[in-house]
Structure 1
Amino acid sequence: MPTIAVTDASFQSDVLDSDKPVLVDFWAEWCGPCKMIGPALEEIADELGDKVTIAKMDIMENTGVPGQIGVQSIPLMVLFKDGKPVAQKLGAAPKSQLKGWLESELA
């Protein structure tokens, strides 16, 4: 299952109203570490797609949601369950660490 792009307009339906957990990766085109974790998140989306949706939000094109939840540094991954942020991870990490963190939060 590929990652999905979410926008300020689709955030409510794609993330908050989702019937399964959603990991939102807040990123920007100019962010090197963001680009480094992109392929890892795509692979994790394929591997854990039945348990979690992986979404990406470009903070340069969408300023409303990042402002509301206080995104100050990127890459920032926030896990939402039942419409609420329940965990977050700041900064790039190897795929194994990202997947391990996510699996522990979903358990």
Structure 2
Amino acid sequence: MSLHILWIVFGLIGAIWIFWDTRNQGYTFPASFRWAIGTFLVPAAVIPLYLMQSNLKSRQKPPRGKPQDVTSEMFQRCNYCGEFYQGNPEHCPKCKRLLKED
């Protein structure tokens, strides 16, 4: 197989994969298309560049939203009777003693 044909096949396979991957990551169609065209034309340069930027993008912290009450999912132990309760109640469900102090 000629080196030119191998280069075209490699570029075409890379372009299809990058187009599919960018669409799965939420890129717009024009952005995905630009990545695919760049990969088809210069696969040896664009594929490593795409992998590096994709790796950096996946390491970014998720955007900060509203604070969530994580205690609603946890089980806690009452300091007075020792029973476990879930959520963030003001009084123990078993002994009815005040759990929150101001």
Q: With the length of structure 1 as denominator, give the TM-score of the two structures.
A: 0.26
Would you tell me which structure has more strand in proportion to its own residues? Answer: 1
Would you tell me which structure has more helix in proportion to its own residues? Answer: 2
Q: Which has the larger radius of gyration?
A: 2
Q: With the length of structure 2 as denominator, give the TM-score of the two structures.
A: 0.27
Larger RCO (CA under 8 A, 6+ residues apart): 1
